[in-house]
Amino acid sequence: MSLLAIGTVAFDAIESPFGKTDKIIGGACTFISLSASYFTKPVQIVAVVGDDFPQDYIQLLEDHGVDTEGLQIKQGEKSFFWSGKYHNDMNTRDTLITELNVLADFDPVIPASYQGCEYLMLGNLSPQVQMTVLERLEKRPKLVVMDTMNFWMEVAREDLKKAIAKVDVLSINDEEARILSGDYSLRKAAKAIMAMGPKTLIIKKGEHGALLFQGDDVFFAPALPLEEVFDPTGAGDTFAGGFIGYLAATDDISFENMKRALIYGSAMASFCVEKFGTERLLNLTKEEVDARIQEFVKLSGFTVEA
């Protein structure tokens, strides 16, 4: 089924204990759409870049089945740029540079050909922009998944709460769940957040996996223990892209299928962190993805007497 993703398409510059990159392609929407493209094509995107954004990068997205009709190119403006440095534990990072540029006054435009999309992934952007996109869709999608971050909890809490109330699935990390709910216990935090509107909540725990809550049900997808985590940038977005991409491809939003989608998202994220930026997401094969899924089956499968 048709999938629309919004979020940043941007430049990242990354430093980690393993090296340093120049400005490379990054942004939530980039990781989401590349990851989702392994399950369903085309992936429609609504995003904005400046005229400094290389045509090669746009072509790279197109080559992976991303429909860039909704990618605005602002003449005379610069693309969003983020630079960060990871510490030795790869779990904490310092933001070195954030240049909003074109994002400062992003007015999302939905191409007519995108109307009627069934699955909507609201990648991390201001809650106001996220809501504008939802409002500008003439028909409410079958499933709306929203990702956000602590920054918006600090600077736009009321807008954020209004947005959260309107989505089906919210995806945040454990620290954000604690901030948003005021509860340290993730089980309690999940209840409090689902009471804000979303029927389903994903709490991402990075290298510790991810939890899926819906009503009284809870499911846990482990993260694959890797020999080396090279660069965690985009892992959460890649996870979200795999999650909604799998749901759109199977067109089944039952809790049972969401469990599988969580595993597929985790598998895609496990690839993402193996190389810098989007590199590992550019040339995966179906065999590699299937083999990785089987690693998750082995990792968490057990039987007990009923």
Q: Give contact residues for a copy of itself (rule: CB under 8 A).
A: 88-90, 184-188, 190, 205, 208-209, 211, 217-222, 225-229, 256, 259-260, 262-263, 293, 297-304
Nearer to a copy of itself, 139 or 302 (CB): 302
Neighbours of 293 (CB within 10 A): 15
Strands 19-20 and 43-50 turn out to be: unpaired
Cβ atoms of 227 and 17 closer than 8 Å: no
CB of 228 to a copy of itself, least distance (A): 6
For residue 161, what are its two tokens?
Answer: 């709460």
Nearer to a copy of itself, 139 or 298 (CB): 298
Nearer to a copy of itself, 121 or 229 (CB): 229
Nearer to a copy of itself, 74 or 259 (CB): 259
CB of 302 to a copy of itself, least distance (A): 4
CB of 298 to a copy of itself, least distance (A): 8
Residues forming a β-bridge with 129: none
Nearer to a copy of itself, 55 or 88 (CB): 88
The helix (run of H) or strand (run of E) holding residue 119 is strand 119-122
CB of 293 to a copy of itself, least distance (A): 6
Cis amide prior to 42 (ω within 30 degrees): yes
Q: Report the distance separating Cα 286 and Cα 295, nearest Å.
A: 14
CB of 227 to a copy of itself, least distance (A): 5
